[in-house]
Amino acid sequence: MKTFPMFLQMQGRRVVIAGGGEQAAQKCRLILKTEAEITVLAPSLEPELADLHKQGKLNWQAGPICAADFSNAALVFIATGCPATDASLHSLAKTAGATVNVVDQPQLCDALTPSIVDRSPVVVAIGTEGTAPVLARQIKTRLEEALEPRLGDLAALAGRLRDRAAMRLGPRARRDLWRWVFAGPAREAHARGSERQAAQMIKQAIDTGEIGTDQQGAVALVGAGPGSKDLITLRGVQRLQEADIIFYDRLIDPEILDLARRDAERVYVGKAPGCHHWPQDKISGVLVAAARQGKRVVRLKCGDPGVFARGSEEADALNAAGIEYEIVPGVTAASAASASLGGFLTERGTCDTLVLSTGYSESQTANLDWINALRPGTRVAIYMGVGSAAKIADALVAAGLEDVISIDIVSRAQQKDQVISRCDASSLVETIQSDAILNPAILFLTWPQNVTKADATTDKPLLGQLGGATA
C-alpha cells in the first residue's frame, strides 16, 4: 500500500477549505457529515456555500490568504478550480504544516478522499490511491446495496449496550453475543423496522446469556487453497474471523492470517514431508484440548483438508473426544495447477478420467499405485511427486509409456514464484533439476483419449506388467 487507511477524530477540530465554487461545495458536503468546524477561504461563495454560511454551519474568510490561515487545521482541502492557484495555496498550507488534499491533483495530496458508505457509526471507506475513482464508486454502489439503511442504528444500539454486556458476560460469551446480534434474528428484526423488538431480544440475551450457543468449543478444518490469499473461500474467511486460535502449516500464505481477528492466537505446527516439527497425534491432541477449553478453533490447511491433508485423522480424534467439527472445503492444488496451465482437469473427448495420487505412501516411500489407472483418456495428478521423480520416470519407461504420456509440472501454483514445465518421462528428472523445481508441486501425467499404444493392453493393470512392484 502506498497509502494507509485511517479514520480521523473530527469532533471540534478545524477543517479549512480553500475555494468558493462547486469543488469546494463538494468537500464541504463531505465534512458536514462530521462534527468538525469548517472554515472556507474564498473571495466569494457559490449559492450553496453562502446559504450554509448564513445558517452558521461554516465560517467564511473573504480576505487574502496566508500560511497562518492553515495553521492548527486537522485537514485542508484546496479546491479553487484553478490548477495554478491550487498549487500556490498548497505551498502555503504545507508551510503551515497542514495535511493537504488538492482536488484532482493526487501528486500534491497528503491525504486522498475515499468513496464513503455512510451508516454512521458504521462507515466504509473505499480508496484506489487516486488511480481509479470510477472503480471506487462502483464498489460503493455494491456496498450500498448490501448494507441495510438502518444498520448504523443497530450498531449504535450495540454500542449503548456494550457496558451492560461487559458486566454480565465473559469475553467468549460477548463475542458469541455480538456474532448472534449481527448475523441472526435481532438484525433481521431491526432491518424490517422492528427496532424495539430487536432491542428487547438483545437485552434479554445479555441478561440471560441464552443465545443458543454451547460453551464447548468447536473446530473448523479449513482449506486455505493452494497458497494465494485470494483463493480461500468466503466461508473460510468467516471461520478465520470467528476463531480464537488458529493452527496452521508451513505452506500457508502468511497474508491469509491477516484475514483473522487480530487478537486470535496463531500456532505454527510446521508440517513438512519427512520432517514433521509436530507429529500428527500431537496436532490432533491440541485441537481437542483447545476445543475443550471452549475456544473456537481453526485448523488451517493448504489446499483442501480432504485431499492428502490428513484431515481424516484429525476428524477421527475429534469424533473420539465428542468435539463438534466442520469441514470447510478449499481449492485443491490440482485445480489451481490446471488453471495455471490454462486448461482443465477433465476435457470431453480427450480426458474423461481424473486420478489424484501422491508421490509418497504412508511409509514415505515412493508410491506407484497410480500407474494401475493409466489408460487412454486418463489424467493422473501426483501431489508432492518431485522427490519420487526418478521412480515415476522409471515406471513409465518400464511400461513403454515414455512416448505416450505427456507430463506437465506446476510448482507453487497460483503464487508469484510459480514455475511451469513440460517434458516426457525420459527427461523428467533432468527437467526438474534444470528448472529448479521444488515441492509443493503437481505432476500431471496425461494419456490422451486418441493416443494408442500398440504393445500395451489397456484393460490389463500396468502394475502387473511391472512385476507388481510398488516400491
pLDDT, tens digit (0-9, with 9 covering 90-100), for 25-80? 999 999 999 999 999 999 999 999 999 999 999 999 999 999 999 999 999 999 99
Residue 336 has pLDDT above 80, yes or no: yes
Query: What's the CA dihedral at 95, 96, 102, 106 to 10 degrees?
Result: 60
Q: How confident is the model at residue 275 (pLDDT cuts 50, 70, 90)?
A: low
- Check: pTM over 0.75? Answer yes or no: no
218-331 has the same fold as 14-113: no
Instruction: For residue 433, give every residue at least 6 positions away whose Cβ sits within 8 Å of its Cβ, in sequence order, or none.
Output: none
pLDDT for the residue numbered 371: 84
What percent of the chain clears pLDDT 70, i.e. is strictly above it?
A: 92
Chain mean pLDDT for the chain: 88
How far is residue 419 from each of residues 157, 362, 409, 415, 439, measured CA to CA in Å? 53, 27, 8, 9, 11
Q: How confident is the model at residue 448 (pLDDT cuts 50, 70, 90)?
A: confident
pLDDT for the residue numbered 216: 62
Q: 72-88 pLDDT, tens per residue? A: 999 999 999 999 999 99
**3-state class (DSSP) for residue 297:** strand
Residue 460 has pLDDT above 60, yes or no: no
DSSP code of 366? B
Q: 255, 229 in Cβ contact below 8 A?
A: yes
Topology at the third CATH level for domain 218-331: Cobalt-precorrin-4 Transmethylase; domain 1 (3.40.1010)
Please state the rounded mean pLDDT for residues 133-156. 92
The residues annotated with a catalytic role in the active site are 249, 271
Q: Fill in the amino acid letter for 49.
A: L
- DSSP symbols for 182-196: HHSHHHHHHHTT-HH
Q: Fill in the amino acid letter for 271.
A: K
Residue 19 has pLDDT above 80, yes or no: yes
Beta-strand ranges (E) seen in 55-183 are 59-61, 75-78, 100-102, 115-119, 122-126
Cell of 265: 492466537
Domain regions of the chain by residue span: 14-113, 151-208, 218-331, 335-465
Pairing relationship of beta strands 296-301 and 245-248 according to DSSP bridges: parallel
- 17 compared with 440, residue with greater pLDDT: 17
pLDDT for the residue numbered 455: 44
Residue 332 has pLDDT above 60, yes or no: yes
**3-state class (DSSP) for residue 369:** helix
Topology at the third CATH level for domain 14-113: Rossmann fold (3.40.50)
pLDDT for the residue numbered 271: 58
pLDDT for the residue numbered 470: 30
CATH top-level class for 335-465? alpha beta
Residue 128 has pLDDT above 70, yes or no: yes
Q: 376-432 pLDDT, tens per residue? A: 999 999 998 898 899 999 999 988 888 889 999 999 999 888 999 999 999 999 999
pLDDT for the residue numbered 465: 33
Residue 263 has pLDDT above 70, yes or no: yes
